[in-house]
């Protein structure tokens, strides 16, 4: 009797406790006040307010953001510095990685040779640094946390397995998407709440962004060498407004992330419909854009999205993002594409393993000047076909009848060193 009761009570407590954990899941935010100590950052002297140094402004704003976040039980705050000292850039990123932070926010002030430059900017990881970042992510593999959806897809993390590498890459593109989300919220607040001028959100190759295994932004809060803006940056009012805007952006960011991952909702109210989702008959890819221009992986035109399949039809390159046969994932993919800036993105159905009844697929392996017989492409693919259109030479290879076979053929070619090829649908 006692045992049974105990079991019931225990499981009741466990349910309560797990609800408690999930509803209390804190977001760990690393706040990084740029520069410090002997590194003053941008600085300038003015007759009325004296010398203003970036390291002091960034620290003041950081401490204000931190004080607000600390009052909120949903957040855990870690500072890279709270006083006038200089942690190296690696100290800062190591701290963030080791503490398994969820978000890294670096705060800076700008300066320019042009005294007329003013306004705010936010930077996120550059388009060309995925490889370094992937190495960091692998090295910091105890930081890797797969959310529920990825866990279902990839199982548990095992460094070195191909599935885990795919999971890592997926996670990376999520970092970038999340960083872009926060960057947009910060800049929106500067414009809408503080009536300031935003220069936008940009991708840039910066150490503190590249070496972090988490979503990261670097905020340039204004120009130290601009006469008016520097006074705003140095003032109590300016620092209050800037920190309030950054704080609000972080709050809204957490709300958006929680909505997306859905973890607190699922724990409290399981959604059997979603768990038992039935696969659709078709695969869905998200059409991002159609263009006569060929963009390779990582091109800024692709706005940082990975998992893109270019498909050439009738002389146009169509760029498709993601592939899934689950309606819920398809909808998330559409949202991801729209959030990245492809406002007109929509889902296109592909019947799996469908053989073309007319025409075929081939692989476009090279576009440009006429290749000579000693070129790598022609040495590797002796029977590549050549076509000339408007003075441009197009080389294609192979003939298959389903998209899946074309993807397989493309992978084989990549293994042989033929990179950036495009699957082409030929109507004949």
Q: How far apart are CA 175 and CA 299, in angstroms?
A: 18
Please give the full DSSP string across 80-119, using - where no structure is assigned.
Answer: S-SSS----HHHHHHHHHHTT-SEEEEEEEE--SSTT---
Q: Which stretch binds Zn ion (CB under 5 A): 31-39, 232-240, 282-290, 345-353?
A: 31-39
Q: Does 226 bind Zn ion (CB under 5 A)?
A: no
Total binding residues toward Zn ion, as defined by CB under 5 A: 3
At closest approach, how far in Å is the CB of 72 from Zn ion?
27
CA–CA gap between residue 333 and residue 308 (Å, rounded) = 12
Pairing of strands 316-324, 283-291: antiparallel
According to DSSP, the β-strands at 216-223 and 308-313 are unpaired
- Fill in the DSSP letter of residue 160: T
Residue 57 vs 289, nearer CB to Zn ion: 57
- Rounded to a whole number of angstroms, the CA Rg of the chain reads 26
* Span interacting with Zn ion, options 29-37, 226-234, 295-303, 362-370, rule CB under 5 A: 29-37
Closer Cβ to Zn ion, 220 or 283, answer by number:
220
- Residue 215 near Zn ion by CB under 5 A: no
36 belongs to the binding site for Zn ion (CB under 5 A): no
CB of 179 to Zn ion, least distance (A): 18
Q: In whole angstroms, how close is the CB of 222 to Zn ion at the nearest point?
A: 12
**Position of minimal CB gap to Zn ion:** 108
Minimum Å gap between C-beta 121 and Zn ion is 11
Q: Which of 327, 334, 323, 322 is nearest to 277 (CA)?
A: 327
Q: Which is nearer to Zn ion, 80 or 130 (CB)?
A: 80
Q: Is the dihedral of CA 345, 351, 353, 359 positive or negative?
A: negative
DSSP notation for 206-232: -HHHHT-SS-EEEEEEEETTSHHHHHH
Cβ of residue 66: shortest distance to Zn ion, in angstroms? 18
Q: How far is the CB of 230 from Zn ion (least distance, A)?
A: 14
Sign of the Cα torsion 416, 169, 339, 267 reads: positive
Whichever of 40 and 338 has its CB closer to Zn ion, that residue is: 40
Q: Residue 34 interacts with Zn ion (CB under 5 A)?
A: yes
Of 30, 36, 41, 118, the one binding Zn ion (CB under 5 A) is 41
Is 398 an interacting residue with respect to Zn ion (CB under 5 A)?
Answer: no
Q: Fill in the DSSP letter of residue 301.
A: G
Contact segment (CB under 5 A) with Zn ion among 28-36, 116-124, 143-151, 329-337 equals 28-36
Give the distance between the most distant pair of CA atoms in the chain. Answer: 89
CB of 156 vs Zn ion, minimal distance in Å:
40
- List, in sequence order, every residue forming a beta bridge with 77; answer none if it has no partner: 29
- What residues have CB less than 8 Å from 278, skipping those under 6 apart? none
Stretch that binds Zn ion, among 32-40, 83-91, 138-146, 150-158 (CB under 5 A): 32-40
Instruction: In angstroms, give the least distance from the CB of 35 to Zn ion.
Output: 6
User: Could you say which residues in the range 104-143 bind Zn ion, by CB under 5 A?
Assistant: 108
- Contact yes or no for 363/421 (Cβ under 8 A): yes
Instruction: Name the residue nearer to Zn ion (CB basis): 79 or 284.
Output: 79
- Binding positions for Zn ion, rule: CB under 5 A: 34, 41, 108
């Amino acid at each position: 009797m006692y045992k049974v009761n105990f079991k019931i009570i225990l499981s009741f407590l466990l349910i309560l406790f797990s609800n408690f954990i999930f509803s209390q899941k804190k977001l760990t935010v690393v706040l990084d006040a740029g520069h410090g100590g002997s590194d003053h950052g941008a600085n300038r002297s003015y007759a009325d307010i004296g010398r203003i140094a970036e390291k002091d402004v960034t620290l003041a704003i950081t401490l204000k953001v931190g004080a607000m976040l600390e009052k909120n039980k949903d957040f855990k705050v870690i500072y890279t510095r709270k006083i006038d000292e200089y942690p190296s850039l690696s100290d800062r990123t190591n701290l963030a990685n080791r503490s398994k932070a969820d978000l890294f926010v670096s705060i800076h002030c700008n300066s320019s040779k042009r005294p007329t430059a003013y306004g705010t900017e936010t930077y996120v990881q550059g388009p060309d640094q995925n490889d370094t970042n992937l190495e960091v992510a692998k090295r910091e593999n105890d930081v890797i946390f797969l959310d529920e959806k990825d866990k279902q897809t990839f199982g548990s993390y095992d460094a070195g397995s191909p599935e885990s590498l795919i999971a890592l890459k997926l996670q990376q593109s999520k970092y970038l998407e999340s960083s872009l989300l926060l960057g947009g919220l910060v800049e929106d607040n500067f414009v809408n709440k503080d009536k300031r001028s935003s220069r936008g959100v940009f991708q840039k190759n910066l150490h503190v962004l590249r070496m972090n295994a988490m979503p990261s932004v670097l905020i340039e809060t204004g120009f130290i060498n601009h006469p008016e803006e520097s006074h705003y940056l140095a003032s109590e009012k300016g620092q209050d407004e800037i920190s309030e805007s950054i704080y609000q952006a972080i709050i809204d960011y957490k709300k958006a992330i929680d909505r997306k991952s859905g973890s607190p909702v699922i724990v409290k109210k399981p959604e059997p419909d979603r768990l038992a989702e039935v696969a659709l008959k078709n695969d869905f890819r998200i059409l991002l854009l159609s263009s006569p221009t060929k963009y390779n992986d990582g091109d800024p035109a692709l706005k940082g999205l990975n998992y893109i399949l270019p498909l050439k039809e009738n002389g146009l390159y169509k760029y498709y993002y993601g592939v899934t046969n689950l309606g819920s994932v398809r909808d998330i993919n559409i949202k991801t594409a729209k959030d990245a800036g492809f406002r007109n993105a929509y889902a296109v159905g592909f019947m799996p393993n469908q053989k073309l009844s007319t025409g075929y697929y081939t692989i476009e392996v090279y576009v440009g000047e006429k290749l000579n017989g000693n070129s790598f492409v022609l040495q590797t693919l002796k029977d590549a076909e050549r076509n000339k259109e408007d003075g441009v030479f197009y080389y294609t290879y192979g003939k298959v009848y389903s998209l899946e076979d074309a993807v397989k053929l493309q992978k084989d070619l990549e293994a042989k060193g033929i990179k950036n090829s495009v699957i082409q649908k030929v109507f004949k």
